[in-house]
Structure 1
Amino acid sequence: MGRTAASLLAGLWGLAAAASAQETAYVPMSPPQPGLPVCAGGLCQADALAGLFEALAATEAGRRMAPVHILQIGDSHTAGDRITGKVRASLQARFGDAGRGVLPPGPPYEGFAPYQVEMTAVGWRPMPAPLVGPGGFPTVGVGLAGVQAISLEPGAELRLRPEGRDALAYVISVCGEGAGRLRVEADGEVWSERVFNEHGATRSCVNMIADGRPREIVLRPLDATLMLHDVRLGQVGAGVTLSSLGVVGATLRDLAARDEAVVAIQLASWRPSLIVLAFGTNEGFEDGLEPVAYEALLRGQIARLRRLVPGASLMILGAPDALRSGVEGGCSADGQRAPPPSLAVVRDVQRRVAADTGVAFWDWHGRMGGDCSSDRLALRAEPLMRGDRVHFTSAGADWIGGVLADDLLAAYEAWKAGR
């Protein structure tokens, strides 16, 4: 190598070293400020959450030793457990970790990855209920998880590896039916063998308690006539548990179609302090949505839940912003996307019905930033929405979940101050 070439390489190495010395560590982009909601603090009718707030206050004061259970039922925003995972983590950091909560009885789709627990299945066939069309029809034998698990293969098993703090006692609850036996193992030891038709009942929920938090729980059916509706993991004692039961593509019609007998035993076993309804996005993409029929459906489901769980608080998450592609003159940066017309109708019905029935309403759309905010969030340097302008990225779910948790905690503090 000549001296000129060597000098050139040395110069380049020197420049590279200088550039390297000037590099800075990666810092995440600052999230946007929450948008302006239709109600102060994002929550309309926050006083409807008094029952939840009473339970949280008793927990905080050491007067309540039972978990405060929050149950969210919804569509893919709930199924992914990213938004609910952030809310769960925030509330558990404040009030204590009482466990993961209710799960579907097996992975309902490939890639299912809920927070705070790892779930794997072999020979275990979870069967999601078919989505309900505008005509509506009941889904017999399907509960709030929207999934049934039926195992016919020898050696089938469902493995659960829960995360969380150590506990003096750990509980697993399983709702099911059939004459078959279910073996539950904790860290390799047989925990229990149960059947669901004892004492003449066709279906039931059974609770099993073990000392401490097991590292691994294994469910094994011993007979071919076993059907499970859900699995609930929790810790005995005070704290918060948040269950997220979502079905991809679901609408409020799917909730209405759930088998009343199964739903009744589930809610009686779970005893939620708050039930959150998180539907509306998929209805918003229905061009033929009938507002009067949708309002009657929503009122009917509120009445149904109040009848089944009289003491629970109720909250509706208003439909978030979402865009449909293939339009001209849309509000997106490229002019090719716009909100489907029915989405605003759904949101208006949700807000009016919540106000009329005394149900809390969270203005998801406003907190995102209003109309076409999904496009703005998708185009950030660190995108908070996916390219479909419907679903959140992991960072976006963490952001909007944090906004919801902050709004709930702010309402709780205001309730305590005004007591």
Structure 2
Amino acid sequence: MKPPSRPLRLPPSSPDRPPVRPPDDEAAPSGESFDPPPKSQSHAALLDFLKARTTGLTLTLTVALALGLSLAPIPESWRPLPSLQRGPLGPKLVALAVPASFTGGRPAPPPEIEVVASDTPKQGAVPEEDPADDAGTEVVDAVPTPAVPTVPGIGLEELSAPSLARAVELEALRERMSAQHVDIEPNCRKARADGTCEEDGLAPFHRALTELRADTRRTPVRVVHLGDSLVASDYITDVVRDRLQERFGSGGKGFLFITRPASAGRWTRSGRGSDGWEIARLVDTKWPRDRVGWTGVAFTSAGGSQNTKYDVEGSRVAELFFLAQPSSGSVQLSVDGRPLQRIQTRGFSKTKSEAAFARVNLPEGAKTLTLTTSGKVELHGVTLETGTPGVIYDTVGLLGGMAEVYLRAQPAAFRAQLRQRKPAMVVLMVGGNEAFFFSRDRTTLEEVRAQMKELVSRVRANVPDAACLVMSPIDAGVRTMGGELVPRRGSKEVSDIFREEARLGGCAFWDAYTAMGGEGAALRWLEAGLMLEDLVHPRAKGSDLLGHLFDLALQRGFAKVHAPLVPVADAPGLRDADTALTKTFDRLRRRESGEALRVGIAQLGASHTASHYFTDAVRGVLTKRFGDAGRGFIAAGKSSPRLENARVARELVGDWTVEDAMEAPPGGLWGLTGIRAVGAPGAKLRIEFCKDCKDAKTLTGRLDLYALDAPDTKAPDIRVDGEAMPPDAPLPEPLSAPMVRIRSFPVTGASHEVEVVAPEGSGVTVLGAALEYDTPGVVLDALGLPGAMASTLRDMDASAVDAQLASRRPDLLVFWYGTNEAGKADLDAAAISNDYPALIARLRKATGNAECLLMGPTDRLAQDANGRWTEAPALAAVLDTLPRVARDAGCAYWSPRAAMGGERAMLRWQRARPVLGHADGVHLTPEGYERLAASFARDFLAAYELRKKTEPTARMEGN
């Protein structure tokens, strides 16, 4: 018996070709709607009935035939189901016997296979939490990712450090999957009389973003993104939303459903509703024809009381979308359990229902918003906004969504809802279900074209001032009856139609099909663990990659039309660490491998350093990994809450004057921070380290006191841990001028306190104190003076600074100046280029050639008389100068501004929740400093890890 010469062709009603119309509560495989394109309704019900009847009989016969052939003693290659005799028979029989429409569009899996939850048991795979991302199921080989982007110009330039780190990982994944960066085709939305393009399809969106960036816009930039199940999961759009809001500021969460439109899925784009809501969707067989617009879902309380709750932290404005209808009930809005406002949903017309809206202000600090209905009420959703400029990215994903489905929306409601949002751009992301129906001969390309043409026309007519963008469907695959995986036909054809209709309709177009990798990409993604078994929906990680590609396409498009406000390259990441920090990284590596080494880091700077928030966070990361060798240096001064996180306390009792080098002429003896505390007779100073730490009796170390000795003054009374220290031995020669004295006292335990009392008849000048333990690890000194510039440190007495800094034994000097220089309208950049390297060279020499790292300014803005934020006057000059200073001095360089997100990052950090940027446009909040510190630590340790991997090779080459 010869084997068949070609694959067995399936009968029209096989499990691979589901029934034309399942029961009303079912939908197509993986969210693809079974509703066919509109046809004559006069005989549709009869056809559906006959097809459903014949489907059951045909399916039974097909199953029997397939089972018989598969179990018969014939060659394996002839079997319709070659693997049926391998493995447990029961689950395979179930997978064969149960129609695909009852299992979400794929064969029923064996019990041991994990099934990703879907939005509804019959409506497709929209994962609630994708286990593949956490379970390590991706089978592609893990490769190291670079610390900084290696491909310029792809759109990564304005991402903050945390987003950049994730983006670089996705870039590595993109390369492994052969996905592509595809530019948006802008097309033309407005042509001149001569046929040339006056305005492209994205122009309104780009104008709005430019206004946000220039701080001339006082209203949000809203995007309305309509789509199918790929949007319903919010795994693609959440990447785009997060990044746009990071670059341009967040205007809030945007549109949210009343509750999840299906029984499963993520709660991220909805409230948490009580049981009992009646839900009607445009994708249903009996959709709400004359009630709902593009929001696509109607939530009805049929007379009883229903409720839903939203997390509104950071929101100041809420707007209810509802249906105003005769004899309708009301909705009580409550904030944090307290009544806020009652909204009556009765319409003015006694016969007509229409889309309506109610806007309310939320009190500052509100955490939850609860909606409770009374009587019969139909709600469509709620929008939440911050009330400040920024990007708002609305998403509405309908399982089984198509252009035809959105055309089912009541035209007046569609128009009213869309205009109410005042979008700067509308994104249409359908096509997957159109391709599915075309691949099964259930629609034609002409019908697909007509439906997309009409949807584009409706959007353009309803919001003519908004940009619009059409996305192609992504690649998909199918399983043949023999188990073979093949690309699904239709995706490329539908993509080509969408491209043409976008061009004709004046909308931009993004080719997601090509970006994903073209035909066969779905099969590669499945093998790599990026695709669900349905071969239609990406897993969360695959969706993140698609969102990454779309976001970067948007960013590249904006970069082409937007002139940078600071025309200076400001690259992220730690630069030149591979050559400038070799000894520091070597000591850290040896410490990590077990050697009893101390690694000293001294950070000198201005208020960013003096606040301690940044250095405390960095210290915490480094000491956790490499060991804690002590708190290091603390300047003398008043009590400060900024020291509490590090368990340090200061106190001044009596008559003290705290002086700083900013207010004094050049020269003079100053502590390492540019501070000195001058006490009158009897005045007392106290500095406590490791306050309330657990006692460690075996822990030894030393406590150093930094003070000035002056001619004709008595030695101060010093107590360490309550015990009086013996008087100092007299100097060999009487002092002729003040000098710095460093007194060192051995200590035992973790917590220690030094107390200094000015003797009677004589004053005392204290510079600071330091605590270190005799344990291996990192010591990080924070040596900052608010308002200081590099020139401030240069002008302090060199011998005093050099001697104190040498006593701290730093292996690495970190210089964080530049933010104050950026605020000087008369800044002499040439002087910085000359004087700063000389200062660095001097301090490196004083500390035994310690290595160095320069940090640039944070983003700094200034507010004009009209309240508009503009760049600090010398920001561009500083950003241009400091990297060259670092390079010339042999130092590494790191840009805090780039880590914040680059251009206008301060404005976004001011508007973030929690607030990250201070209202003065210069400083950060504690949360902001901690976030920036996390970015620095991440880049520093990434460079360290890279050095560890290349060090053996480097050593071999050196030999």
**TM-score bucket of the superposed structures, by smaller chain:** 0.7 to 0.9
Q: 1:337: Cα distance to partner?
A: 0.5
Distance 1:54 1:192 in 2: 41
Q: Provide closer, same or farther for how the CA distance between residues 405 and 352 of structure 1 changes in structure 2, counting only shifts above 3 A.
A: same
- Written as runs of structure 1 = structure 2, the 5 A alignment for 1:195-214 is 198-200=731-733, 202-214=739-751
What is the letter of the counterpart of residue 840 of structure 2? I
Which residue of 1 is the match for residue 688 of structure 2?
160
User: Is the 8 Å Cα contact of residues 119 and 161 (structure 1) preserved in structure 2?
Assistant: no
Which residue of 1 is the match for residue 111 of structure 2?
none
User: Is the 8 Å Cα contact of residues 615 and 933 (structure 2) preserved in structure 1?
Assistant: yes
**2:846 pairs with 284, 287, 308, which one?**
308
Q: 1:225: Cα distance to partner?
A: 4.4
- Written as runs of structure 1 = structure 2, the 5 A alignment for 1:327-338 is 336-338=868-870
> After superposition, what is the alpha-carbon deviation per residue over 1:224-279, rounded to whole angstroms, capped at 9, x for unaligned?
24322221122122111111111111111111111112112202211111111111
**1:138 pairs with 666, 680, 697, which one?**
666
| Deviating more after overlay: 173-182 vs 372-381 | 173-182
SS at match of 1:198: coil
Q: 1:290: Cα distance to partner?
A: 1.4
**2:932 pairs with 388, 400, 410, which one?**
400
> After superposition, what is the alpha-carbon deviation per residue over 1:2-30, rounded to whole angstroms, capped at 9, x for unaligned?
xxxxxxxxx9xxx999x86xx98xxxxxx
Q: 1:150: Cα distance to partner?
A: 2.0
Distance 1:144 1:226 in 2: 17
Which residue of 1 is the match for residue 714 of structure 2?
180
Distance 2:686 2:721 in 1: 13
Which residue of 2 is the match for residue 7 of structure 1?
none
Distance 2:752 2:843 in 1: 35
User: Is the 8 Å Cα contact of residues 55 and 64 (structure 1) preserved in structure 2?
Assistant: no
Q: How many residues align?
A: 382
What is the letter of the counterpart of residue 50 of structure 1? T
Q: 1:327: Cα distance to partner?
A: 6.3
SS at match of 1:338: strand
> After superposition, what is the alpha-carbon deviation per residue over 1:173-211, rounded to whole angstroms, capped at 9, x for unaligned?
12223253233323322245447x734474331211112
Q: Provide closer, same or farther for how the CA distance between residues 94 and 45 of structure 1 changes in structure 2, counting only shifts above 3 A.
A: closer
Q: 1:393: Cα distance to partner?
A: 0.9
Q: Provide closer, same or farther for how the CA distance between residues 132 and 253 of structure 1 changes in structure 2, counting only shifts above 3 A.
A: farther
SS at match of 2:853: strand
**2:912 pairs with 360, 380, 386, which one?**
380
- Written as runs of structure 1 = structure 2, the 5 A alignment for 1:71-86 is 71-86=602-617
Q: 1:126: Cα distance to partner?
A: 4.8
What is the letter of the counterpart of residue 181 of structure 1? A
**2:643 pairs with 113, 117, 121, which one?**
113
User: Is the 8 Å Cα contact of residues 132 and 253 (structure 1) preserved in structure 2?
Assistant: no
Unaligned stretches of 5+ residues in structure 2: 1-304, 306-331, 338-366, 369-547, 549-554, 556-568, 952-959
Q: 1:370: Cα distance to partner?
A: 0.5
Q: 1:120: Cα distance to partner?
A: 1.3
Q: Provide closer, same or farther for how the CA distance between residues 159 and 355 of structure 1 changes in structure 2, counting only shifts above 3 A.
A: closer
- Written as runs of structure 1 = structure 2, the 5 A alignment for 1:1-400 is 38-39=570-571, 41-65=573-597, 67-107=598-638, 113=643, 115-123=646-654, 125-131=656-662, 137-163=665-691, 166=696, 168-178=699-709, 179-194=713-728, 198-200=731-733, 202-222=739-759, 224-326=762-864, 336-400=868-932
SS at match of 2:677: strand
Q: 1:413: Cα distance to partner?
A: 1.0
Distance 1:393 1:206 in 2: 36
Q: 1:302: Cα distance to partner?
A: 1.3
Distance 1:216 1:49 in 2: 35
User: Is the 8 Å Cα contact of residues 124 and 157 (structure 1) preserved in structure 2?
Assistant: no
Q: Provide closer, same or farther for how the CA distance between residues 126 and 273 of structure 1 changes in structure 2, counting only shifts above 3 A.
A: farther
Q: Provide closer, same or farther for how the CA distance between residues 387 and 113 of structure 1 changes in structure 2, counting only shifts above 3 A.
A: same
Distance 2:821 2:845 in 1: 25
SS at match of 2:804: helix
Q: Provide closer, same or farther for how the CA distance between residues 52 and 192 of structure 1 changes in structure 2, counting only shifts above 3 A.
A: farther
What is the letter of the counterpart of residue 180 of structure 1? K
Distance 1:326 1:141 in 2: 39
Q: 1:54: Cα distance to partner?
A: 2.0
Unaligned stretches of 5+ residues in structure 1: 1-10, 25-32, 329-333
User: Is the 8 Å Cα contact of residues 155 and 220 (structure 1) preserved in structure 2?
Assistant: yes
What is the letter of the counterpart of residue 669 of structure 2? G
User: Is the 8 Å Cα contact of residues 655 and 679 (structure 2) preserved in structure 1?
Assistant: yes
Q: Provide closer, same or farther for how the CA distance between residues 391 and 371 of structure 1 changes in structure 2, counting only shifts above 3 A.
A: same
Which residue of 2 is the match for residue 6 of structure 1?
none
SS at match of 2:902: coil
Distance 1:210 1:155 in 2: 25
User: Is the 8 Å Cα contact of residues 186 and 214 (structure 1) preserved in structure 2?
Assistant: no
> After superposition, what is the alpha-carbon deviation per residue over 1:283-339, rounded to whole angstroms, capped at 9, x for unaligned?
1111111111121121121121122123311111111101000067xxxxx7x1111
Give every structure 1 segment of 4 or more consecutive aligned residues whose post-TM-superposition deviation is greater than 6 Å: none
Which residue of 1 is the match for residue 150 of structure 2?
none
What is the letter of the counterpart of residue 218 of structure 1? E
Q: TM-score, normalised by structure 1?
A: 0.83
> After superposition, what is the alpha-carbon deviation per residue over 1:349-374, rounded to whole angstroms, capped at 9, x for unaligned?
11011112211101111111001100
Q: Provide closer, same or farther for how the CA distance between residues 170 and 184 of structure 1 changes in structure 2, counting only shifts above 3 A.
A: farther
User: Is the 8 Å Cα contact of residues 386 and 392 (structure 1) preserved in structure 2?
Assistant: yes
User: Is the 8 Å Cα contact of residues 106 and 125 (structure 1) preserved in structure 2?
Assistant: no
> After superposition, what is the alpha-carbon deviation per residue over 1:389-419, rounded to whole angstroms, capped at 9, x for unaligned?
2111111111001111111111111111111
| Deviating more after overlay: 218-227 vs 242-251 | 218-227
User: Is the 8 Å Cα contact of residues 857 and 896 (structure 2) preserved in structure 1?
Assistant: yes
Distance 2:725 2:774 in 1: 17
Q: Cα RMSD between the aligned structures?
A: 2.9
What is the letter of the counterpart of residue 584 of structure 2? L
User: Is the 8 Å Cα contact of residues 682 and 757 (structure 2) preserved in structure 1?
Assistant: no
SS at match of 1:417: helix
Q: 1:61: Cα distance to partner?
A: 2.2
User: Is the 8 Å Cα contact of residues 886 and 893 (structure 2) preserved in structure 1?
Assistant: yes
What is the letter of the counterpart of residue 175 of structure 1? Y
Q: Provide closer, same or farther for how the CA distance between residues 248 and 41 of structure 1 changes in structure 2, counting only shifts above 3 A.
A: closer
What is the letter of the counterpart of residue 573 of structure 2? G
Q: TM-score, normalised by structure 2?
A: 0.38
Q: Identical aligned pairs, as a percentage?
A: 28
Q: Provide closer, same or farther for how the CA distance between residues 344 and 190 of structure 1 changes in structure 2, counting only shifts above 3 A.
A: same
Q: 1:158: Cα distance to partner?
A: 1.9
User: Is the 8 Å Cα contact of residues 327 and 337 (structure 1) preserved in structure 2?
Assistant: no
Distance 2:865 2:853 in 1: 33
What is the letter of the counterpart of residue 708 of structure 2? E
SS at match of 2:796: coil
Distance 1:402 1:408 in 2: 10
Distance 2:832 2:865 in 1: 26
User: Is the 8 Å Cα contact of residues 98 and 238 (structure 1) preserved in structure 2?
Assistant: yes
